[in-house]
Structure 1
Amino acid sequence: MLTLETRAKIRRDREVLKKSIKQISRDRHVSRNTVRKILEEEPGQEIGYQRSIQPRPQLGPYVERLEKILEADWPQPRKQRLQAKQIFETLAYEGYQGAYDSVRRYVKAWRTEKGRNPGTVFIPLYFEPGSAYQFDWSYESAVLGGVHQSIKVAHFRLAHSRMIFVVAFLRESLEMLLDAHNRAFKFFGGCPHQGIYDNLSTAVDKILKGKERTFNSRFEAMCDHFLVEPVACTPAAGWEKGQVEKQVRDVRNWFFKPIPQFADLEELNHWLADRCWGWASTHPHPEQKQRTVAAVFQQEREHLIRFSRPFDAYKERECRVSSTSLIQYDGNQYSVEAIAARKAVTIRAYAERIMVIHKGKVVADHLRNLSKG
């Protein structure tokens, strides 16, 4: 029996990486018939090429000279070391005809590698259109129906265009996490090829070596549904999703000061979505400064995996119905059909409703009560 993770990798190999069935069969050590069966279950989209090696046609002949300058300069106190601009001018005087940016990148990479603790150095990342999004939670306050409440806000940020989306919940549980992805990908009109996360307790069951993780099966099923590859950050390496870390601080100042007041959570979330569009339409992109975030986002949309249908975003649990045809979930009781009294049933908890299944039949479907008791 193939794991959900392996089935998702096979789909991405074919639909995203465009590998042949023969190559997938060889790489994943499964039969071609098995590959064909898995591919018939759900289609996907193609991922863009990302260059991993930076060529240096102009700088190449001057690398040895550049490294000698850097080696001689390294023992100097940090504030007295040569600037990249000064090194570039020295090389240009000696005949180098390439760009300053090539020298700057090489100097930065060399000094980072040479440093005694390079793991703590922030290295800005470049993302191709549609390549990745970053996710995080934050804790905010809002007045809902006249009551001051603590809310959990899910933050999404497209790493190329910097387009943002935020949505609020009263819980930070698995079903809320899944629902947040449905809302975000519908808002964006699609999803990037990778999702960058910290080690969420609701999504990660076990942290392994390096970036390897054992993800929750429902979270894995959602990623498989959207053909997204989940990537977990290295513990204590916040810069790996630095964009969304900054977004959390900025959104708190932009949207939650002063504390917003609305009739209910739905009204708050409509307002937050409008504010996301408003912000993107008025803020310049940090790299393409002549264009707004919204303009860059409209171009990036063409590279997203198309949003076709939402994921069935529930968390499942087994329980037994009481003699009075009641089940209990999250501190609240819900009634079920009498036919299920004293019998084992399956509870499917969604962000906004509770569904109860018995022998494949729905015996209860209620709006969810998120208050205790």
Structure 2
Amino acid sequence: MARRRIRMRRVREVLRYHFEQGLSNERIAGALSMSKGGVHNILSRFKLNGLAWPLPANLSDSELERGLYPPQAGSSELPRAVPDVDYIEGELRRPHVTLELLWREFVESHPATMSRATFYRFVRQGLPKDVDLKMLHKGGDKVFVDFSGDGVEYIDRNTGEIHEAPLFVASWGASSYTFARALDGEDMEQFVRIHERAFRYFGCAPHALVPDNCKVAVIHPNRYEPQIAALYEQFGKHYQVAILPARVRAPKDKAVVESAVGFVQRYILGRLRNRRFFSVQEINEAIPEILERLNDEPMQAYRGQTRRQRYEALDKPFAQPLPAERFVVCAVKSDATVAPNYHVRFDDHYYSVPHHIARQKVDIYLVGNIVEIYHDGVHVTRHLKQPGNFGYSTKDEHMPSNHQFVRGWSKEWFIDKAGHIGMWTAEAVKLIMKRHRHPQQGFNSALGVLNLAHTYTPQRLEAAARRAIHFRSLSTKSIRTILEKNLDAQPLEQPKQYCLDLTALKHENVRGPQYYTSNQGE
């Protein structure tokens, strides 16, 4: 069997290092991950066959191969066509193109030259070392995002403290075209905003985003069904981009971005190492110039092509156009306290959250007309934005089980229910709710008064309500205490300081004192 020949791309690199840079065989072998014997063989053949440097500009790989490996005398070997691996790699990154299709096209143009297995093997051997044929990313398909392990240090002018700003990196799968920017934190708002900035830098959007399983992006990492942070998911929907977190314990999923992150750390952070910064803004003013140089740096593994050139050829033509409207986080309210009635105020309206986080802190984001609420970094609910009229938006599933039957609570509902007991009870409930800035804030107290009717007779509850009004001690606890200590049985003169407006309470369902007097004999 003939010995496998070294691909011509590698041969050209060996010759360039030898003739242009004057490197030794050992250094060339180290730079190209070859054996010293392999380097020596190439240079010997080059000299033996009378080839000259520099090579003609129009010399093809096939012609160079025939020059280095001419058919031996008496050999039946004929010059044969070989696949152009650079062309094949570019085509494989286009949507809907497969290696099978390219092989069929090749044999149609060059019949009886190469079997399917030989074609596949030739292509695998010719691809750069960092390209896995099975993981070859389609153009315009994916952008990989991650935070650099090392950030950029800056000094707080006021305190002299040294802080480290994390570095966000986004890299296209096919071209490795990269965006980078420093942040002053890794919270959800900044995470979404930096994606928006990255898309505007690219001028287009991918079909999928592949974030690392950082907590800000993925609430519950799972190899098969990860739970995406709601605000990040909304961002994806706005741009029609699928969010595909890198699979847990699947290192190949993150190879592109981890490679990009490592390169960015060396390229950008290394060039900033001797500079002193006093804010994240100063850092970000320094990064763009270096980032442009990074994307315009020729890549040895791709015959001197730059990331920008590959992006323009491979990713941008197949990416999605950006929508006319940006994804805007309109407002943010951090560390808002949930009220005991499991509602939180935002822009003069009250929105419910799950009852078990009452009295705790939440973060609120307004995205378009959607109110997104997070607790401890985890999305708990969303509501449609309502006018700032101090109204309430309540979801049934947020209520404790013993509250869900009262979905229709209102000031009138409580007064009407209290009127079935009597006018003094109705007045007490009315005054209890009036004590609160908004009636609904007194619903729990009003409900407590109504529930006393399950234990005590309407006559006693009426007397207790009247006594509570007399002493201006209006609360469920006060009325219950009056009943428990039988104070409602003690005579009470009509209070001079408070006169009940009976006309205001006149209602067919409101029972006056005569109701109980007329029914005592029954």
Q: Which bin holds the TM-score, normalised by the shorter protein? A: 0.5 to 0.7
Instruction: Classify 1:346/1:174 alpha carbon distance in 2 versus 1 (closer, same or farther; 3 Å).
Output: closer
TM-score (norm 2): 0.41
1:181 Cα offset (Å): 0.3
Q: What is the distance in 1 between the residues matched to 2:245 and 2:338?
A: 39
Contact 1:141 1:259 in 2 (8 A): no
What is the alpha-carbon distance in structure 1 between the residues aligned to residue 221 and residue 182 of structure 2?
A: 27
The aligned counterpart of 1:234 is 247
> Quick one: structure 1 residues 283 and 145, their matched pair in 2 at CA, closer, same or farther if it must change by over 3 Å?
farther
Q: Which residue, 191, 194, 200 being the options, matches 2:208?
A: 194
The 5 Å alignment of 1:107-256 reads 125-138=135-148, 139-144=150-155, 147-208=161-222, 210-256=223-269
SS of 1:160's equivalent in the other structure is coil
Q: Which of 98, 103, 119 is matched with 2:121 structurally?
A: 103
| CA 248–291 in structure 1, closer or farther in 2 if over 3 Å, else same | closer
Shift of 1:293: 1.4
Q: Which runs of 5+ in 1 are unaligned?
A: 1-47, 61-94, 108-121, 328-335, 351-357, 363-373
Which residue of structure 1 aligns with residue 327 of structure 2?
Answer: 311
Give the conservation status (yes or no) of the 8 Å contact 1:285–1:292. Answer: no
Query: Is the 1:281–1:294 Cα contact (8 Å) retained in structure 2?
Result: yes
Tell whether the 8 Å contact from 2:171 to 2:257 is kept in structure 1 after alignment: yes
Q: State whether residues 285 and 293 of structure 1, in contact with CA within 8 Å, keep that contact through their aligned partners in structure 2.
A: no
Contact 2:183/2:190, CA 8 A, preserved across alignment:
yes
Write the distance in 1 (CA, Å) between the matches of 2:326 and 2:105. 49
Q: Report what 1:37 is aligned to.
A: none
CA, structure 1 residues 346+216, in 2 after alignment: closer, same or farther (shift >3 Å)?
closer
Q: Distance in 2 between matches of 1:241 and 1:272?
A: 24
1:168 maps to amino acid: A
Distance in 2 between the 1:187 and 1:156 partners? 11
Aligned amino acid, residue 250 of structure 1? F
Matched with 1:282 is 297
CA gap 1:145/1:285 in 2 versus in 1, 3 angstroms: farther
- 1:284-339 CA-to-partner distances (Å, cap 9, x unmatched) read 3743x2432122223332332223333224766673499xxxx9xxxxxxxx99x8
Partners of 1:236 and 1:283 in 2: CA distance: 32
Deviation at 1:250, TM superposition (A): 1.9
Structure 1 residues 170, 301: CA separation in 2 closer, same or farther (over 3 Å shift)? same
Q: Distance in 2 between matches of 1:206 and 1:347?
A: 19
List aligned pairs for 1:50-89, cutoff 5 A. 50-51=96-97, 54-55=100-101, 57=104
Distance in 1 (CA, whole Å) between partners of 2:318 and 2:236 is 18
**Structure 1 position 218, deviation (Å):** 1.0
Between Structure 1 and Structure 2, which shows a larger proportion of strand residues? 1
Cα 1:103/1:315, change in 2 over 3 Å: farther
Q: How far off its partner does 1:254 sit?
A: 1.6
Structure 1 residues 295, 245: closer, same or farther in 2, change over 3 A? same
Is 1:272 aligned with 2:287? yes
Change (3 A) 1:164 1:106: closer
Distance 1:276 1:176 in 2: 20
Q: Please show how residues 309-348 of structure 1 align to structure 2 within 5 Å.
A: 309-313=325-329, 319-320=336-337, 348=364
Q: Assess, with a 3 A threshold, how the Cα gap between structure 1 residues 150 and 203 changes in structure 2: closer, same or farther.
A: same
- Higher RCO (C-alpha 8 Å, min separation 6): 1
Cα distance, 1:96 vs structure 2: 6.3
| Partner SS for 1:222 | helix
For the residue of structure 2 that corresponds to 1:156, the secondary structure is strand
Distance 1:250 1:154 in 2: 13
RMSD of aligned Cα (Å): 4.3
Paired residue total: 251
Q: SS at 1:186's partner residue? A: helix
Deviations 1:112-157 (A, max 9, x none): xxxxxxxxxx766222221111111123132245553112111100
> What is the CA-CA distance between 1:178 and the residue it aligns to?
0.5
Q: Distance in 2 between matches of 1:316 and 1:49?
A: 43
TM-score by length of 1: 0.55
Highest Rg: 1 or 2?
2
AA aligned opposite 1:273 = P
**Counterpart contact for 1:156–1:166, Cα < 8 Å:** yes
Tell me, in whole angstroms, the C-alpha distance in 2 between the residues paired with 1:240 and 1:106: 20
For the 8 Å contact 1:211–1:231, the answer to whether it is kept is no
Shift of residue 265, structure 1, vs aligned partner: 1.3
